[in-house]
Amino acid sequence: MNLEMMEALEALAEARGISPEALFGALAEALEAAYKKMPDAEDFSWVVIDTETGEISVKAQKTDEDYEPYGPELDVTPDDFGRIAAQTVRQVMNQKIRDVERERKYEAFANREGEIVTGIIQQSDARYTLLDLGQVEALLPQSEQAAYERPEPGERVKAYIVEVRKTAKGPQIVVSRTHPGLIRRLFELEVPEIADGVVEIRACAREPGQRTKIAVWSADPNVDPVGACVGARGARVRMVVNELRGEKIDIVPFTDDRTDFVEKALQPAKVKEVRIDEETRNAEVIVPDFQLSLAIGKEGQNARLASRLTGLRIDIKSESQLADEEAYERTYGGEDYAEGRWIVAENGEQMWLPADGSSPLTREEWDATQAAENELIEDIEAVAEAVDADIAEAIDEVEDVIAEIEIDEEEAAIEEVAVDEIEDELAEAAIDAVDEIDGAEATDESAAGDA
């Protein structure tokens, strides 16, 4: 290889961003591999490239039985090695350029996870959508796309970089349109106060394509965080909404007071009272009757997003429901309330959550259970009434028997009194008879004496 060729290689390497050392190193390895494929090639050999003169030579050493080199270095450069070197230079140069390009692309995006990029939609199918980012293409899987978005080829969109993978064919960049981080980055682009750190997005809850709630806070008391995000006449937030294809965004102020935070998270509904259990991380929210559906939202969306935003499980009740529960508790002591409670599922349906940890019941299942319990109670009451009737009848029979016994005892007592009176009368009659006999005998004796 002549000196002009060396200079041309160095210029090409510099233009492609390849270091000459890396290029000549790869060239030496390729030439060494080519030499070892030749017949009668030495086992222990290597290629030397003189970067000053461009001379290429093959050096070798003899090896012993253990394949250990020994002896002086030998010049074993083949006669036609120049032709092999020329072919190898072209192949190595092309391969090295491709490797460097892939590595450069990977390094350009390796540290950009969590950022947003703007790409042009190339093609879309049921599995994924390809975005052209200029130097590379990004992969937008179907699972990372909003349900109601319809990508159109040639359309320019912003996406959030989720992962950068290093593959043999180059970097593979996975982006998302559903990640909550996309909201944060879009507001950073539109709101200078967020980019400067004056305003912070403390919490974000999102249902892609439908609705998003964010809680913002300002380190400067003179800056209104909600107003900064909304902008003049809603200009700033409108730009974010347009990028998200009409997704609704609720912006609420963040506060360390959990009660106040829950009230604001449930906006636009008006909350009357919030009761928070810090141990179970449950929040019982009381709203006016006409605000109940607004607080829960369509299919429970508002309650769901508020729960994710605050990190609490939110149970929403109307004033009439609370009054009924309190009346029941006053009447029955509140024992039934230990058996479970009503919650709002993710689909917006109210469900009964038993206290024993079993699966929640839908309204229909709970009604069926209550109907079965009521039927069982009615059966028990019927049996109790029948038992009471039998007991009452038995008591009546016992009382009749007792009455008959008492009558018999009275009659026996009367008879006994009558016998006693007869005996007394007979005794008195006998005594009188004896007295009369004694009197008669005395009279006879007196008469006899007179005679």
Task: Tell me the C-alpha distance between 172 and 328, whole Å.
Answer: 62
Of the pLDDT bands very low, low, confident and very high (cuts 50, 70, 90), residue 201 is very high
pLDDT tens-digit readout, 72-105: 888 777 777 667 666 776 777 677 777 777 887 8
Identify which has the larger pLDDT, 7 or 226: 226
User: Does a structural domain hold residue 86?
Assistant: yes
- Which residues, in sequence order, are CB contacts of 451 under 8 Å at separation 6+? none
Predicted pLDDT at 237: 92
- Which residue in this structure is represented by tokens 């043999």? 168
User: Does a structural domain hold residue 73?
Assistant: yes
Same domain, 102 and 159: no
Identify which has the larger pLDDT, 334 or 266: 266
* Residue 27 CB neighbours (<10 A): 22
Same domain, 397 and 409: yes
Chosen domain end from 109, 130, 153: 109
Q: Which two tokens stand for residue 202?
A: 């403390």
pTM score:
0.59
Same domain, 10 and 75: yes
- Which residue in this structure is represented by tokens 């991380």? 281
Task: Tell me the C-alpha distance between 224 and 197, whole Å.
Answer: 13
- Which residues, in sequence order, are CB contacts of 55 under 8 Å at separation 6+? 1, 49
User: Does a structural domain hold residue 169?
Assistant: yes
Alpha-helical runs (H) found in 251-350: 258-265, 292-296, 301-310, 319-332
The domain that contains 167 carries what CATH number?
2.40.50.140
C-alpha distance from residue 156 to each of 26, 119, 121, 132, 176 (Å): 40, 6, 6, 9, 14
The domain that contains 97 carries what CATH number?
3.30.1480.10
Written as one string, the DSSP assignment of 61-104 is EEE-TT--EEEEEEE---TTHHHHHHHHHHHHHHHHHHHHHHHH
Total of domains in the chain? 4
Same domain, 398 and 329: no
Give the mean model confidence (pLDDT) for residues 48-70. Answer: 79
- Rounded to a whole number, what is the distance in angstroms from the first to the last CA of the chain? 208
DSSP 311: T
Contact 72, 44 (CB under 8 A): no
pLDDT tens-digit readout, 234-273: 899 999 999 888 889 999 999 999 899 999 999 888 999 8
| Backbone φ and ψ of 134, nearest 5° | 105, -80
Q: Which two tokens stand for residue 45?
A: 């050999």
Same domain, 266 and 315: yes
Chosen domain end from 62, 91, 109: 109
pLDDT tens-digit readout, 262-294: 999 998 889 998 988 888 888 899 999 888 889
The domain that contains 291 carries what CATH number?
3.30.300.20
Same domain, 294 and 313: yes
Predicted pLDDT at 419: 56
Asked whether residue 180 carries a pLDDT value surpassing 50, the answer given is yes
| Backbone φ and ψ of 320, nearest 5° | -65, -40
User: Does a structural domain hold residue 234?
Assistant: no
Give the mean model confidence (pLDDT) for residues 395-402. Answer: 75
Chosen domain end from 93, 109, 125: 109
Same domain, 95 and 123: no
Largest CA distance in the chain: 211
User: Does a structural domain hold residue 355?
Assistant: no
Contact 6, 86 (CB under 8 A): no
Same domain, 77 and 152: no
Whether the ω angle into residue 20 lies within 30 degrees of 0, i.e. cis, is: no
Q: Which of 349, 347, 369 is nearest to 358 (CA)?
A: 369
User: Does a structural domain hold residue 352?
Assistant: no
| Of 286-290, 344-348, 390-394, 446-450, highest mean pLDDT | 286-290
Full domain range(s) for residue 45: 3-109
Task: Tell me the C-alpha distance between 33 and 29, whole Å.
Answer: 6
Asked whether residue 215 carries a pLDDT value surpassing 90, the answer given is yes
Same domain, 101 and 118: no
Percent of the chain exceeding pLDDT 70 equals 83
Asked whether residue 129 carries a pLDDT value surpassing 50, the answer given is yes
Same domain, 24 and 37: yes
Task: Tell me the C-alpha distance between 127 and 144, whole Å.
Answer: 10
For residues 78-97, b (16+ Cβ closer than 10 Å) or e, as one string? eeebeebbeebbeebbeebb
435 CB burial (10 A radius; 0-12, 13-18, 19+): exposed
| Of 233-237, 349-353, 395-399, 416-420, highest mean pLDDT | 233-237
Of the pLDDT bands very low, low, confident and very high (cuts 50, 70, 90), residue 436 is low
User: Does a structural domain hold residue 74?
Assistant: yes
Same domain, 153 and 59: no
Same domain, 95 and 159: no
User: Does a structural domain hold residue 358?
Assistant: no
